[in-house]
Amino acid sequence: MKILILQTARIGDTIQTTPLFRQIRTKYPHAHITVMIRAMSEEVIKANPDVNDYIIYHEDPIFSDMIARDSDRYMNAYKEVEKLILDLRQRNFDIAYNITHSTSSALLLKLAQIPKVIGAHLSEDWQFTLRGPWTVYFFTSVLSRDYNDLNLCDIFKLYESIPEPVKELVFEVNSNAMEFTDHLFAEYHIEPEDFVVCMQLGASEANKRWPAEYFAQLGKKLHEKYKARIFLVGVPSEAELGQKFQREVPGLAIPLFGKTTIPQLAGLLKRSHLLVTNDTGTMHLASAVKCPVMLVSVGYVHFRETGPYGRGNCAIELRERSFKMDISSKSSEVHPLDRIQPEQVLKAIEWLFSMREKKQLVQHELTPDMDNVNVHISEFAPDGCLQFYPVIRREIDEKDFLRFAYRLMWLEHLNVTPHKQTEIENLHKLFQYYIAPDTKTLTMWNKEFRGSFEELAGKYKQGIHITEQLKSTITDGKIMRAREQVKLLSEIDEQIRIYGELNSYLKPITLVTKFERDNLEGSNPLELAKQTLNIYRGGYERSTLMAKKVKKCCDYLQNNENSLLE
């Protein structure tokens, strides 16, 4: 079997896809696996034992030539794409996994004529479509991130599930990289017993960066408390941030901007005790080599979705944000007093190392100095997927409650946790870290949320009924009647959309419906009706299942309140 995996996003995205590489290798041990990547990710693939070979996709120069308004450059782009398509065809791939999800990647795979595609693809009538239930989940979850409780690495790896899921990122550090680290430590007189900390000051966008001055203040505190030896890592363009750091605390840190390759950085992280970072590719590299991560989650970063994948990492974020947690809201003007403070990150680091030393999460009572932040530490849940558990003990709020109910629903709906005992273990492990609301609140949640999901299910049931009639009408050739029924379905679609807008916690379900209805495949009326019927059935199943999960969570919290408070 010949398998192609397309991941042409950034370095961090490629590292996040390595659990999928391993699961595919586990399922198809004798397959020839090829990965298509951008040049920046070449070293990541070279360090992955699950991949046989790779193809470099020169996306940036191709698109630069296409928009240059120069006929020669446009023709050059055409020839490059033609060459790539012919190469893909000649390799005779049996299956492709498209993790890039772009229209251009879907078009590329369509032209490559690969028989089976999981992920973004083009239909027989050349319409953009998504193949595979987890692909649809990923594509729509970014529009309702507040209710997504699954890490991207878990979502990606579930594109091809196996009985024993992979629970780590993969990057094998070579001997040359470790020799580089040995020489680096010798040059700066770093001893084996020294506490080595790496700091990544940059991020892909300015609003995802914690201030460099705050990194400096934290570095000073780490040096005072642990005698920390600090390296500043990053690309050459981030050296300016390093200069801000150095102005605050001259001589405290060793700048390495642009002075390490990816393997060398991996070697350094492997020998380090901690990485303090924004949401970056460096964070994922650290997770892959088992370096503890302290993620300062700022801007529109959603740490549950993109945070460090692996046990025993920490994320800190502000409790109240002045902007929505979705990709449509990227601006964030935050007053300095409202930012995460260095003292708070230091305390989170202390909690992280306490957890790693004791090999279990120890919760702490809320204190005034940590009142405005959330601190979470990662662990794998009984369902096999990563979960971030709260370190500060608080009463569970509506959003946390619904997010976890959605986790239970999606994992059952998409056949990840079919065993009820696993779900009970999930409930117990998570809810033990929260204070249960009072009976009145739980009763209200059960009534309001369950009622909303049941009402939504009723709308889907109407859609099912009318679509079943539509199938018969089409078969009988009653065109005018069919038009009336299609109009009724459009009205139901609008009711579902509006109901989701009025009740934002329904959006993870209603957005899937909208996407699927907007991306029907083909032009045969009867086939379109069959697809529509399956869409409404899926919406009905998800809605009724969510109503059950809401009840189950409420019942569990109410019946186990005393044990949770122990």
Per-residue pLDDT tens digits for 254-308 = 999 999 999 999 999 999 999 999 999 999 999 999 999 999 999 988 999 999 9
Residue 223 and residue 350 share a domain = yes
Residue 251 and residue 319 share a domain = yes
Concatenate the DSSP letters of all residues of 316-360 into one string: EEESS-SS-SSTT-------GGGSPPHHHHHHHHHHHHHHHHHTS
Residue 269 and residue 353 share a domain = yes
Task: List the single range of 263-277, 524-538, 552-566 with lowest mean pLDDT.
Answer: 552-566
Residue 377 and residue 250 share a domain = yes
Residue 522 and residue 458 share a domain = yes
Establish if 11 belongs to a structural domain: yes
Q: What is the pLDDT of residues 328-376, one digit of tens each?
A: 444 445 555 569 999 999 999 999 999 999 989 989 999 999 999 999 9
Per-residue pLDDT at 417: 66
Mention every residue, 6+ apart, whose C-beta is less than 8 A from residue 196. Answer: 190, 228, 229, 231, 271, 272, 273, 274
Looking at 322, 357, 392, the residue that finishes a domain is 392
Looking at 133, 153, 186, the residue that finishes a domain is 133
Mention every residue, 6+ apart, whose C-beta is less than 8 A from residue 8. Answer: 36, 37, 38, 57, 59, 100, 102, 105
Query: What band does 323 get if pLDDT is binned at 50, 70 and 90?
Result: very low
Chain position carrying tokens 């020294």: 194
Looking at 369, 392, 415, the residue that finishes a domain is 392
Establish if 494 belongs to a structural domain: yes
Per-residue pLDDT at 335: 55
| Token code pair at residue 157 | 């790896």
Angle between helices 103-112 and 71-91 (to 10 degrees): 60
Overall number of domains in the chain = 3
For residues 338 and 449, what is the distance between their CA atoms, to the nearest angstrom?
A: 32
Contacts 24+ apart (CB under 8 A), 464-473: 464/533, 464/536, 464/537, 464/540, 466/492, 467/529, 467/532, 467/533, 467/536, 468/533, 470/529, 470/532, 471/526, 471/529, 471/530, 471/533
Establish if 78 belongs to a structural domain: yes
Residue 388 and residue 450 share a domain = no
Residue 449 and residue 337 share a domain = no
For residues 77 and 83, what is the distance between their CA atoms, to the nearest angstrom?
A: 10
Residue 388 and residue 296 share a domain = yes
Per-residue pLDDT at 336: 56
Chain position carrying tokens 């896809």: 17
**Mean pLDDT, residues 14-37:** 98
Per-residue pLDDT at 328: 47
**Mean pLDDT, residues 423-433:** 93
Per-residue pLDDT at 420: 77
Establish if 548 belongs to a structural domain: yes
Q: What is the pLDDT of residues 490-513, one digit of tens each?
A: 999 999 999 999 999 999 999 999
CATH number, residue 452: 1.20.58
Average pLDDT score, the chain: 93
Query: What band does 522 get if pLDDT is binned at 50, 70 and 90?
Result: confident
**Mean pLDDT, residues 522-536:** 95
For residues 111 and 32, what is the distance between their CA atoms, to the nearest angstrom?
A: 21
Q: What is the pLDDT of residues 377-401, one digit of tens each?
A: 999 999 999 999 999 999 999 999 9
Residue 272 and residue 182 share a domain = yes
Residue 227 and residue 78 share a domain = no
CATH number, residue 241: 3.40.50.2000
Compute and round to an integer the Cα radius of gyration of the chain: 25
Q: Which domain range does residue 48 map to?
A: 2-133
Residue 74 has pLDDT above 90, yes or no: no
Establish if 167 belongs to a structural domain: no
Residue 339 and residue 215 share a domain = yes
Residue 368 and residue 505 share a domain = no
Per-residue pLDDT at 285: 99
Establish if 536 belongs to a structural domain: yes
Task: List the single range of 10-14, 236-240, 522-526 with lowest mean pLDDT.
Answer: 522-526
Establish if 410 belongs to a structural domain: no
Establish if 168 belongs to a structural domain: no
